[in-house]
Copies of this chain bind each other. A is one copy, B any other.
């Protein structure tokens, strides 16, 4: 079991803002990036939270592998479409701006898509999809990522874990928020099993010999993750197809890198990550009231349905995360001591001690 320390949301976020500012990120952008990063911890997705503050972002900003100014430029635009160049900026900042523009366009056109090339890892995809919710829109957020997943019948990783996020507003119920890697699990899940000495379920990935493995290190050392679905008889080519589709939209359509061309955050070169965002204005199809009434009815139908023996809940996507965030706002964000140690080391390195008080 890990040792856990809880920190108040506001002070953790304030520290992350200072951290980005210390690395020449403008204050307003630092606030955006901090909000995205801390939201991952808040929503119970610590693999994408402050654990990556230094490794994915800080170290790259210091090495000038990410441009702290995030100088976004427009490649091509029309009332419902926008193609952006992210200027090798911070992925969170670039994605936030891209989705903001997408929502503005959709407010007028009823619908909009923004693509982004030349960006970086942007954190949790769901954050940007959720930006549409308050505008009574459906939000979609996709990104490609470094190759970790083998295509069906392939031996080596050629596809990213390329997530699909979609957010759909409801009325009195929590909104529906899907935020899923198109692999069975993200690589961080395998790392956690390795660190804790646990085996993994057969199906998550293959060894460098192409054999289904229960040993996490065999995936991490020259092996590959498998796409959602897993082996052929359980239809892994569907997960492969979804992962490829995400890359066709984020890599090929956006004009960014794709497949093995997408940079790993550990590489000493620009990542050229690509994103794809869409916003759909509900009022262009039916009244928002009728839509939300149906959403609530649907969610209640699912939640009140008969459960499998031994199970007491059917979850709606995003529900666990809303509950986790509520708890964290009250009790503080739980961080493993290992992550806190990493933050302390990173803070010392840039002369900004991580000395915030744990939640009381």
Instruction: Point out residues on A near B: beta carbons under 8 Å.
Output: 75-76, 78-81, 83, 109-113, 115, 138, 151-156, 158, 164, 166, 168, 176, 178, 180, 184-185, 201, 203-204, 206, 209-210, 228-230, 233-235, 237-239, 241-242, 244-245, 247-249, 251-255, 258-260, 280-282, 284-286, 290-291, 294-295, 298, 301-302, 305-309, 311, 313-317
Contacts and interface: CB of A to CB of B under 8 A. Distances in A.
Contact of A282 (B253, B260, B298): B253
A153 B284 contact: no
A298 B178 CA distance: 28
Task: Select the residue from A113, A252, A282 with max chain B CB neighbours within 10 A.
Answer: A252
Given A83-B284, A153-B307, A180-B238, 7 more contacts: A76-B286, A80-B110, A152-B314, A176-B245, A184-B229, A244-B302, A252-B291
A236 B258 CA distance: 27
B154 A305 contact: yes
Given A239-B228, A315-B237, A301 B158 contact: yes
In the complex, the count of this chain's copies comes to 2
A263 B237 CA distance: 29
Contact of A153 (B115, B164, B242, B314): B314
Contacts of A286: 75-76, 83, 253-255
A161 B326 CA distance: 34
Instruction: Give the residue among A76, A258, A284, A316 with the most B Cβ atoms within 10 A.
Output: A284
B83 A285 contact: yes
Which of A180, A185, A251 is the most central at the interface, judged by chain B CB atoms within 10 Å of its CB?
A180
A168 B252 CA distance: 10
26 contacts: A78-B109, A80-B80, A81-B109, A81-B281, A81-B284, A81-B285, A113-B280, A151-B302, A153-B314, A154-B306, A158-B302, A158-B305, A176-B248, A178-B245, A185-B235, A201-B234, A229-B230, A229-B239, A230-B230, A230-B234, A237-B315, A244-B317, A255-B286, A258-B294, A259-B298, A260-B301
